[in-house]
Structure 1
Amino acid sequence: MRVTWRDHSPHSEAFDDIYFNPLHGKEESLYVFWQGNLLNEKLAGNVQTVFTIAETGFGTGLNFLCTAQSFIGQSKEAQCLHFISVEKYPLALTDLAKSHTCWPEFKSLSDQLIQQYPPSTPGVYTLAFLEGRIKLTLIIGDAASGFSQLSAMVDAWYLDGFAPSKNPEMWSDALFQQMARLSHKGTTFATFTAAGAVRRGLQAVGFEVEKRKGFGQKRERLVGRYLQDNIPEPTVTPWFDLPSQARPEQVVISGAGLAGCTTAWALAQRGIKVTVLDAADKPAQGGSGNPQGALYTKLSVKPTLQSELHLCASHFSLNLLRQLDPEQTFWSECEVVQIATDDAERTRQQALINEAAYPQEIVEDGSKDTLSKLTQQTVTHDGLIMKLAGWVSPADFCRALLNHPCIDYVPDSQLTELTYQDGMWIVQTAAQKTYHTSTVILCQAEATSQFVQTQHLPLKPIRGQVSIIPASVTNQKLNQVICGDGYISPPFRDHYCFGATFELKSTSLEITDSGHDTNLHNLAKVLPDLAADFEKSKHLLTGRVSFRCSTPDYLPIVGPAPDPETTLERFAPLRKDRKWKFSNVSASHLPGLYVNCGHGSKGLVTTPLCGEYLAALICAEPLPMRKPIHDALNPSRFLIKNLIRKQI
């Protein structure tokens, strides 16, 4: 959004309107929205764990800052705030930061917001404050469309944004309908406007509306509450409906790789006791155990669900890493240079740049000369510079995640049997230990499908060998992650790690010379001088073999475990007609059983956000991704696809 600055406050050129009252912006926000929604009284009488506010225009974030600070002062210690806002035209980071200088009293919150502020690409971005006690979900996109794909229950609405006369497109019947869908009986709203179209639109969808005195010289404003019991509307894909359960006091997770540890941390941050079982003697001994991994996403030419997931997840992962390890002792936030090693890849990259779907804060084009200067290496091909990126030591990341007072990590505890009896899961391990719990999450990569309840999941291991060599074998320095047919990261603990092979049929754990040769060959295509130095010291190469857990559609499997038998029975008409319209039919799940696996080579990107998604789902909180994305991850999708294809 292009803005001009007038009297130290931003003014929208597109809508010819101000973002906030330049003299009394904070006072107006509190009067109109905090007091208009009676939030002091609501919080005092609230017994919910999470209180949810939704806003229709984020702008400079003033309403969020005012609300967050007031919440800290007024709420009980056990209460959490989830603030959801949409913004179709996000401010540039420089304009946001400049506007925040008007409110020095918010500096602590403002600094955290600025550090976590997302890119301007459409998507759902989750930001955390005060150790997760306050969360901000920022939806970049149209208000009505953004809310239509949100899964949440809202307690109070802030109807903000540019005036209805300036921006009538936002104040639409479609928006009011989504407000009603996301509200419950007693949900309140407040807005600065008293426009008749707004009043009538809210009344038409079930809100009681009252006029109150406006702020300062403004004559009137509107407040009100939702009067109806909200009944969920039937969906066209009922097999993706999500279950609800009582918030658990304790959860058992099987698997201490990235998927298990990030999920455990997300639950522990909510005060839930988590027991993490793992077959190995220490965390991250499977696919998450390589010394280093690249954190970046390979963007599609045109945005897809997968590219949106990866972008939003990369943003979430980086913010989590900043929180856990601000000194960057086991990770580094740096560029990832994606080099085109053949004409087809360069053509794809050029099409991506020409499409201009991603801003420069995410990706820039780079000639071979530019890349050589950036990396201080000889680069013989053009490529892309990825900004929302870096490298991580996955095992160190996992250990940091498990270092939480609510997490009990139990090594040498392979889960062998899972049975459901009298409303509880009975979890048995090879060490003859038994756990009883209402909620189990399976995060065991391809081993997730070894149980009767999950054997229908199509998981496949893909062998990968990385090569490791002492950094002292070369005088060259590397400060970025370089990707081509493989990747290499800057040295960590005095060693370079590069690779990895991609072997579909091999199941061997043995480190092979042929694997090293493949990795050196791929490195030579992107950094020939560095590869030559490594070749001279080839006898010093060591390595590691692990297996990526892959799925047929290359998307993770994350969500509630379906009841296979009942699912196939209920949705059997899909065998005859894939467009069959179901009525009074819902998804069938195994109560309290969830899975999180199949992240392939992108676990550093996707597991933190997917862990947050599972924790939010289990605790009945607003979900941190659009419905089309969590539908695409849903474990039921393969049963449904096979029904449609008449394969089962």
Structure 2
Amino acid sequence: MVHPAHSPTIPCEPLAQAELVWRDGRPYAPQYQDAYFGSDDPRSEAREVFIDANRLPQRFAAGGRIAIGETGFGTGLNVLLTLQQWRRHAPEGAFLSILSLEAHPLSPDALHEVHQRLGLDDADSRALRAQYPPPVSGLHRIIFPGAQAVLTLGLGDAAPLLAQIRGGIDAWFLDGFAPRSNPGLWNTAVFRQIARLSRPGATFGTYTAAGQVRRDLEAVGFEVERAPGHGHKRERLIGHLAGTSPRTDNAPRIAVVGAGVAGLATAFALQRRGCNVRVFDPAGAGGGASGNPAAVLLPNPHPTDTELNHLALAGTRSTRALLAEVTRQTRIDPVLAEGVSFHGVSAHARKRVQRLQHAGPEHTGFLFERRGGPDSGPEPRLYYPQGCGLNLARFCSGIAQLLPAIATSRVTGLSATDAGLHLEAGPTEPPGVWDHVILATAAPGGRPLCPELEQVSTVVGQMTRIRAPLPDWGGEVATGRGYCIPLGPGEAWIGATYRHTQPAPSSNPPPDTTPHTQDDQLNLEHLAWVPGLHDPSRIEILERWTGIRAVVRDRLPLLGPSRRDGGNRVWLNVAHGSRGLLYAPVAAELLADRLLDLPEPLLDSTAARLDPQRPLA
């Protein structure tokens, strides 16, 4: 598998959903003048043509990590039947990643109808529909609880999407409507990308036996043979790419330095993929800036920046998925408030709201609605239904419960040898050799562990918990200039200040995090537009919290391999600034997938915005 070549940016644009009609008991797509299934027994057809053709039950039973690619998600039948086989045969510690593409997705209601008619209304189909993405071009990740399996659903035309995807594929379902009615899916541009993504020995199965398809697959390196067709079809094609792929059942040993939300999410993503992970942090889970008792998940769409919109949508979905998984497994619910209203209370905020409203939610990932929120005046506002306020410290505590015990040793050095990576972690930590080290902290006070950390600076933020005659906002977070997270009648966390300090990795003492009365006043000034906060005599300060955030110049995280040893063994997931809730979980998924050569959750052009080697001047 080779990296994608440079290709044009894929807009975060709305897609036309497929029309679904039923003819003779089969779902039919008028746009393609073809049925979604080629037989009266679609489940049997899918098992024979795709699952058995790729020998998936046997390969699942062997364990390890396996990735499947599909051209033509359609009704999700192949994915759901594959998950049934996965749950039946895969041993503990195995991991399944599915990449599936669809140019014209069905609506959620149509998907539900097909699943019910096919008898597929199980836990996985419900998880699929609950996380089904909006009809927006790009990549959208779906997690299947308890299955150690993920689906990356790519919406849009196959050729440009595939050109923007990284990750090795072991088996392909070449599905989709017939080549004569869907030539955009059955052509050499698509097959070249399939070959690029395929690991040596990758297999495929398809219902078609068209001569041109066979010749095109052979032209890109596949060995192709005919097999008996299913039902009334005379023939179909199966085959494989030359070579033998190495087994992926190894469990690399990975040290994660930092137990904030970025480090914990990274450790969880790697552990779920079968890695042996140890987290190091002297302060324990959420001991730094991730100990925030009241953080806000607020998407950050842009009226014209496509990559930022892809990142905002993927980040929001990834954080909500991790939040749901933590709550499911630990019964810890860190959510303080659901929904976020963004108010155009300042000139800058008003301009931002107006530009986003003009662009429209359909062109920014359907992240916001033009309605809703607290009725606090005539200013324009946006409502983010997937935004929330939560106790970040509690969230970190929940993730930590799903991991091995955190080593409370301070990592002060890192050395690389041919045998692996060695950490200097204090006398109480036994020596160990690691295959990879993830740096998920840029905490000041020591020499930097890699050169990219020299670019990081720090910002001190203070939160203030107050009691005041606040309005009843229906449990929503209000933001615009500052934010206000309701805790119940008359109480809220407000904040946060943003005080720049010095570069994070300097050997100087860490920045002062002593709470300041003037920062309380600054938080109140920023929220002077909130009813009930204009009279200081009626406001009581109940509590304060301060934390140090790491940032770089463009306010996006540093994510990917360091140039420290040149061997892709030292990785970074740092500098999330004030958007750790939005960026850290999806960054963790991307880092884990890239390290293990699995299909990634972000388009390559979007992921490039986070590259630690990008220019920051």
TM-score tier (shorter): 0.7 to 0.9
1:39-92 deviation line (CA, Å, top 9, x unaligned): 344445x4x611211001111111101111122223444433221101122222
Task: Report if aligned partners of 1:549, 1:600 keep a CA contact under 8 Å in 2.
Answer: yes
Aligned 8 A contact 1:294 1:604 in 2: yes
Specify the code of the residue in structure 1 equivalent to 2:317. H
Residue 491 of structure 2 is aligned to residue 488 of structure 1: no
2:22 paired residue number: 6
TM-fit CA distance, 1:173: 1.0
| Offset, 1:269 | 2.2
1:255 aligns with 2:258: yes
- Does the CA contact (< 8 Å) of 2:64 and 2:250 recur in 1? no
8 Å contact kept, 2:39–2:231: no
- Name the CA distance, whole Å, in 2 between partners of 1:27 and 1:490: 53
1:311 corresponds to? 313
Q: How does 1:67-146 map to 2 (within 5 A)?
A: 67-146=82-161
Contact preservation (8 Å) 1:448, 1:597: no
The reply to whether residue 51 of structure 1 matches residue 66 of structure 2 is yes
**Structure 1 residue 442, shift from structure 2 partner:** 1.5
Residues of 1 paired with 2:548 and 2:44: CA distance? Answer: 57
Task: Return the match for 1:168 from 174, 179, 183.
Answer: 183
Tell me, yes or no, if the aligned pair for 2:227 and 2:237 is still in contact at 8 Å.
yes
So what's the TM-score if we normalise by structure 1? 0.83
Distance 1:68 1:441 in 2: 31
**Residues of 2 paired with 1:599 and 1:132: CA distance?**
30
| Structure 1 equivalent of residue 544 of structure 2 | 543
Q: Aligned-pair distance for 1:286? A: 1.8
Q: 1:402 aligns with which of 382, 400, 403?
A: 400
Written as runs of structure 1 = structure 2, the 5 A alignment for 1:26-41 is: 26-41=43-58
Letter in 2 for 1:426: H
2:603 matched to 1:613?
no
Shift of the 418–10 alpha-carbon distance from structure 1 to 2, 3 Å rule, reads same
Is the 2:559–2:611 contact (alpha carbons within 8 Å) kept by the matching residues of 1? yes
For residues 109 and 202 of structure 1, the distance between their equivalents in structure 2, rounded to whole angstroms, comes to: 32
Q: 1:429 aligns with which of 425, 430, 447?
A: 425
Structure with the larger helix share: 1
> What residue number does 1:225 align with?
240
User: 1:605 and 1:300, CA in 2 relative to 1: closer, same or farther beyond 3 A?
Assistant: same
Q: Where does residue 9 of structure 2 map in the other structure?
A: none
2:506 matched residue in structure 1 = none
2:391 maps to what in 1? 393
Deviation of the 1:620 alpha carbon: 3.5
Matches within 5 A, 1:175-254: 175-227=190-242, 247-254=250-257
When residues 74 and 448 of structure 1 are mapped into structure 2, their CA distance, relative to the original with a 3 A threshold, is: farther
Residue 504 of structure 1 is matched in structure 2 by 500
1:76 and 1:335 map into 2 onto residues whose CA distance is 39
Distance 1:278 1:520, change over 3 A: same
Aligned residues of 1:446 and 1:459 also touching (Cα < 8 A): no
1:337 aligns with 2:341: yes
Q: Distance in 1 between matches of 2:446 and 2:519?
A: 28
Does the 8 A contact of 1:151 with 1:627 survive in 2?
Answer: yes
RMSD: 3.0
**By how many angstroms is 1:457 displaced?**
3.4
1:277 paired to 2:274: no
Name the structure 1 match of 2:451.
Answer: 454
Cα distance change of structure 1 residues 539 and 488 upon mapping to structure 2, 3 Å threshold: closer
Conservation of the 8 A alpha-carbon contact between 1:557 and 1:634: yes
Native 8 Å contact 1:466 1:543 kept in 2: yes
**In the TM superposition, what whole-angstrom CA distance separates every residue of 1:175-194 from its partner, at most 9, and x where no partner exists?**
01011112233221111222
1:357, CA displacement in angstroms? 6.1
> Structure 1 residues 126 and 517 mapped into 2: Cα distance closer, same or farther (>3 Å)?
same
Contact map agreement 1:428 1:434 (CA 8 A) in 2: no
Residue by residue over 1:221-249, the C-alpha shift from the partner in whole angstroms, topping out at 9 and shown as x without a partner, is: 2222223589xxxxxxxxxxxxx999554
The letter of the residue matching 1:30 is R
Please identify, of 58-67 and 259-268, the stretch whose mean Cα deviation from structure 2 is larger.
259-268
The whole-number CA distance in structure 2 between the counterparts of 1:492 and 1:323 is 26
Question: Is the 1:442–1:448 Cα contact (8 Å) retained in structure 2?
Answer: no
- Closer, same or farther: CA 152–331 of 1 in aligned 2, 3 Å: same
**Alignment partners' CA distance in 2, 1:457 and 1:60:** 49
| Deviation of 1:603 (Å) | 0.5
Counterpart mapping for 1:243-642 below 5 A: 247-280=250-283, 282-326=284-328, 329-331=333-335, 334-356=338-360, 358=362, 362-366=366-370, 371=372, 374-375=373-374, 377-404=375-402, 406-411=403-408, 413-430=409-426, 433-438=429-434, 439-447=436-444, 450-451=447-448, 453-454=450-451, 457-470=454-467, 474=470, 476-491=472-487, 495-505=491-501, 507-525=511-529, 527=530, 529-532=531-534, 535-563=536-564, 588-589=566-567, 592-638=569-615
Which residue identity lines up with residue 115 of structure 1 in the other structure? A
1:274/1:408 contact within 8 Å kept: no
Identity %: 30
Secondary structure of 2:421's aligned partner: strand
CA contact (8 A) 1:449 1:457 kept: no
Structure 2 SS opposite 1:489: strand
Q: CA deviation at 1:455?
A: 5.8
Structure 1 residues 130 and 474, CA gap change in structure 2 (3 angstroms): closer
Sort the Cα spacing of 1:354 and 1:24 in 2 relative to 1 into closer, same or farther, 3 A: farther
| Amino acid paired to 1:308 | H
Output the CA distance in 2 between the equivalents of 1:476 and 1:468: 17
The amino acid that maps onto 2:270 is: L
| SS in structure 2 at match of 1:387 | strand
Contact kept in structure 2, 1:462 and 1:550, CA below 8 Å: yes
**CA pair 363-417 structure 1, distance change in 2 beyond 3 A:** closer
* Letter in structure 2 aligned against 1:457: E
Contact 1:209 1:224 in 2 (8 A): yes
One-letter code aligned to 1:538: I
The gaps in structure 1 that reach 5 residues or longer are 231-243, 565-587, 643-648
Question: Aligned with 2:291: secondary structure?
Answer: coil
Report if the CA contact (8 A) 1:448-1:454 is conserved.
no
Q: 1:140 to 1:417 in 2, by over 3 A?
A: same
- 5+ residue gaps, structure 2: 1-16, 503-510
Query: Deviation at 1:217?
Result: 2.1
Aligned residue in 1 for 2:11: none
Contact 1:467 1:542 in 2 (8 A): yes
DSSP 3-state at the match of 1:491: strand
Match of 2:14 in 1: none
The TM-score with structure 2 as length reference comes to 0.87
Write the letter of the residue equivalent to 2:594.
L
SS of 1:396's equivalent?
A: helix
Distance 1:182 1:74, change over 3 A: same
The one-letter code sitting in structure 1 at the alignment partner of 2:358 is: N
User: 451-460 or 178-187, which moves further after superposition?
Assistant: 451-460
Match of 1:300, as an amino acid? H
* Aligned-partner residue type, residue 547 of structure 1: I
